[in-house]
Chains A and B, each alone.
Chain A
Amino acid sequence: MSTHKLKKVFVETLGLGAQVDWNGLRYRRVEQWDSVAHMYLVGEIEQVFDVMLETQDVLAMDSFAAATNILARHGVNFD
Chain B
Amino acid sequence: MTDLLGLVGKVALVTGSTRGIGWRTAELLAAHGATVVVNGSRDEGAVETRVKELTACYGTAAFGVVCDAAQPEQVRAAYQRVFKAYGRLDVLVNNAGVLQDALVGMVSDELVEHSFRVNTFGAVHHLQAAARLMRRRGEGSIINLSSIIGTHGNAGQIVYSSTKAALLGLTRSAAKELAPHGIRVNAVAPGFIDTDMTRALPTDVFESRAASIAMGRVGSPDDVARAILFFASGLAGYVTGQVLGVDGGMIV
Contacts and interface: CB of A to CB of B under 8 A. Distances in A.
Interface of A: 42-43, 46-47, 50, 52-55
Interface string B100-127: 0000000000000000000000000000
Contact of B136 (A46, A54, A55): A46
Nearest to A47: B136
B79 A43 contact: no
A67 to B, nearest CB: 16
B135 interface: yes
Mostly, the B contact residues are helix
Contacts of B128: 55
B83 interface: yes
B167 interface: no
A18 B129 CA distance: 34
A52 B80 contact: yes
18 contacts: A42-B132, A43-B132, A43-B135, A43-B136, A46-B132, A46-B136, A47-B136, A50-B87, A52-B79, A52-B80, A52-B83, A52-B132, A52-B133, A53-B132, A54-B76, A55-B76, A55-B128, A55-B129
Contacts of A54: 76
Mostly, the A contact residues are helix
A53 B79 CA distance: 10
B113 to A, nearest CB: 21
A55 B80 CA distance: 12
Interface size class of B (residues with CB under 8 A): 10 to 19
Interface in B72-115: 76, 79-80, 83, 87
Nearest to B73: A54
Given A50-B87, A52-B132, 13 more contacts: A42-B132, A43-B132, A43-B135, A46-B132, A46-B136, A47-B136, A52-B79, A52-B83, A52-B133, A53-B132, A54-B76, A55-B76, A55-B129
A42 B163 CA distance: 30
Contacts of B135: 43
A43 B140 CA distance: 15
A45 B154 CA distance: 46
A50 B80 CA distance: 12
Contacts of B129: 55
Nearest to B83: A52
A43 B180 CA distance: 14
A32 B245 CA distance: 43
Contacts of A55: 76, 128-129
Nearest to B89: A52
A26 B87 CA distance: 30
B132 to A, nearest CB: 6
A29 B87 CA distance: 33
Contacts of A52: 79-80, 83, 132-133
B73 to A, nearest CB: 10
A41 to B, nearest CB: 12
Contacts of B136: 43, 46-47
Contacts of A47: 136
